Chain A
């Protein structure tokens, strides 16, 4: 029972982590809470749905198509809605992000209708594997495997490549990085691209897991992923992974213990409690304040 719920929680949590990574990377570089990120995830789920239903491609290619479309969308959103506001107050950029979020979700509602849609049958053959007393579906294993692969790839990009080094430098100090000859605009676009690709992958996986894609799925998932990013310490990449997994496991655990009507509150209650004890999140850096 416990093992079963743990696997369920990790599967859900790794999708939260995939979305949370986008929040945390963007925040780490330009200290913007990108509220449109949840909508990018929603668009990713829809693109995956259409790729499998209309183009009849297999699941992995559908995910790649969704990632490509969302990369373009993410970079475009940054170009139009955030770049002109980079020098103005952070709240203005926040409101702009919320505007983009409302725009995208309404657009999706008009284009795809208000009803939830499911992925076509047999996109991914689901089998149940019994290990001890736990029943694990191949879909859950797929979600965990894909998420883990993507996160390892992200760690590789951030720590072993030149553009990753530029990202870390920019998040350390924006102005100094620019003085050192780093093309800061390009780095920011790249960060948005990376985050959007991960969110799109998360969208396709969640679409498969719950078999429901709807225009308003981005709001709650986005808020929870943001909570996960803050829980782990916003700006920290391992923190977002840890926060996502933790939220997923506690949420599933809470539902299993019979608090299913409080499902959406569990994640936030954990968040508030953790922040009260550790005000900068689990893996967040302490900021020395000076006058």
Chain B
């Protein structure tokens, strides 16, 4: 089966294939950060640190133990989430910009520590052997993308997701409603880190070479831009934002050295003209339902009607 898939992928131009995989990894990372910043409202400027931890953990697991890639990725995710929970417990007591600078500081510390460890091969970076799987990497990456989108969608509409949104709305009010704010913040932080760790593992094995300097402040900013550009808290937005910003540097390549300059200008313009992100509060399922001529969120409308009738009942009595 692996050979067959590999043969199919052979028909795609390798350059385009690389862009497609980069987009996939971008989507995974953006969705992870969207849980922390979009859904829970905690600004993180150090998401690349978790990607870094994931990438190096996964690479070391492959090098030292050669374990199957699926087990490797899951283990990587849990280890990254564990680190995030450990870090999150003290620093998530901070709010707003103090939290943002703390995550930034944490990311810089992770980078410098990895630059000085033997197991990460110091500043030389680590060459990652091929993943222990028969399925080609592009397929693995996109399978994980789909899995992540499905999981995150479930989280958005679950009890857990609603609690996170309550924390975003107002921490004190959420606490008064019986939500354990610290617990939920740490959980969302760990969840975002889990996804970032898996993304990092995929990145390491797809690229074949990782260096701690690749996961610096600019990488964190990259991921944050994807989430904000797409629209905070919107899954569709994160997917679109990640697609645009992962592909933009490639499509701007013809401008050679002007490329990053245009990218910077593009960020400013997009924010000025769409300050709430491209998607804002629009959701993809809502759009499709509307296009089909159906009213979206039928369940919600039904619930509203039933509550209206019950209210009028009360009025009668």
In the bound complex, CA of A110 to CA of B259 (Å): 11
Q: Is A5 an interface residue (CB 8 A)?
A: no
A197 contact set on B, CB distance < 8 A: none
Shortest beta-carbon distance, A275 to chain B, in Å? 6
User: A139 an interface residue at 8 Å Cβ cutoff?
Assistant: no
Q: Report yes or no: B276 in contact with A106, Cβ–Cβ below 8 A.
A: no
Query: How would residues 78 to 105 of chain B score, 1 for a CB under 8 Å from any chain A CB and 0 otherwise?
Result: 0000000000001101110110111011
**Cβ contact within 8 Å between B268 and A99:** yes
Q: Is the CB of A93 within 8 A of B90?
A: no
Q: In the complex, what residue of chain B is closest to A289 when comparing beta carbons?
A: B172
Whether A93 and B271, one on each chain, are in contact in the complex, defined by CB atoms closer than 8 angstroms, is yes
State how many angstroms separate the Cβ of A247 from the closest Cβ of chain B: 11
Partner of B112 from the list A223, A262, A281 (CB cut-off 8 Å) is A262
- Secondary structure of the A contact surface, majority rule: helix
Q: How far is the CB of A5 from chain B (nearest CB, A)?
A: 21
B interface: dominant SS = helix
Within 8 A of B (CB), among A247-291: 261-265, 268-269, 271-272, 275-276, 279-281, 289-291
Tell whether, in the assembled complex, residue A276 and residue B90 are in contact, meaning their CB atoms are under 8 Å apart: yes
Question: Known contacts being A91-B43, A279-B93, is A226 close to B264, with CB within 8 Å?
Answer: no
Contact A280 B217 (CB under 8 A): no
Cα(A135)–Cα(B93), bound, Å:
44
Which residues of B from 203 to 244 have beta carbons under 8 Å from A?
Answer: 217-218, 221, 224-225, 228-229, 232
A102 touches B263 (CB 8 A): yes
Does B302 make an interface contact (CB < 8 A)? no
Nearest A-chain residue to B108, judged by Cβ? A268
Check B228–A227 contact: CB distance below 8 A: no
For A261, the closest partner residue in chain B by CB is B116
Return the chain B residue nearest A108 by Cβ: B261
Question: What residues of chain B have their CB less than 8 Å away from a CB belonging to chain A?
Answer: 37, 43, 90-91, 93-95, 97-98, 100-102, 104-106, 108-109, 112-113, 115-116, 170-173, 176, 217-218, 221, 224-225, 228-229, 232, 257-261, 263-268, 271-272, 275-277
Beyond the given A99-B263, A227-B104, could you list 14 further A-B residue pairs with CB under 8 A, ordered by the A residue number?
Answer: A33-B97, A81-B268, A89-B232, A96-B267, A98-B225, A99-B268, A102-B264, A110-B257, A110-B258, A219-B217, A269-B105, A271-B101, A290-B172, A291-B170
